[in-house]
Amino acid sequence: MGVSENNAHYGHRLRVYRKIGDVIYDEVYYLTENGKSVSKKREREIRALAKARDKELLQFQAEYQQELDAENPIKFHKDGRIIGLTRQRQQDNEREIDVFKLRIRLPDDSISWGSISIDLHGFDNAFAQALDRITQLLEINKRTKIYRQMKQSKEAYL
């Protein structure tokens, strides 16, 4: 969220708020002392402190997110589908084709695209091929928990 400014009956203050993982950092910097506003010079110092702390927390948040992404390269939608794997119907020469579309972000931040025909391979086989492609691109071991979660997401695509 960053730095926000509040002026309430109990004092003018700056609030630095960030959530990093399960930890909430909520810090308050008051711009009043004994019910009176601080000097302009002191206010600038307090604002600089709050902005520096927010910058520090933002950097910490970015590092945490990078570690999280490195540990778990696969993310899921709330309904259980894998982010980067969608099921689509396409029109091709007056016929409809049912396909799995892949859009996978690789560790080097490039993107790999692809599609697998459900009509040609059947749903079960096409889904298995899509998972194989994802595990190959992201170098995921098939004996890991994340791979089991990916296999369980199959029902979300039916």
Cβ partners under 8 Å of residue 17, min gap 6: 1, 2, 4, 24, 25, 26, 27
CA 16/CA 57 separation, integer angstroms: 9
Which domain-ending residue is among 41, 71, 101?
71
Q: In the numeric block, which tokens belong to residue 41? A: 């010079």
pLDDT in tens, 61-120: 999 888 877 677 788 888 889 989 999 988 877 888 899 999 988 878 788 999 999 999
Which domain-ending residue is among 71, 99, 132?
71
pLDDT in tens, 26-36: 999 999 888 78
117 and 62 in one domain? Answer: no
pTM of this structure: 0.60
**Domain span including residue 38:** 2-71
For 102, the enclosing helix (H) or strand (E) is: strand 95-105
Q: For the chain, what is the domain count? A: 2
Q: Is residue 60 situated within a structural domain?
A: yes
67 and 93 in one domain? Answer: no
89 and 147 in one domain? Answer: yes
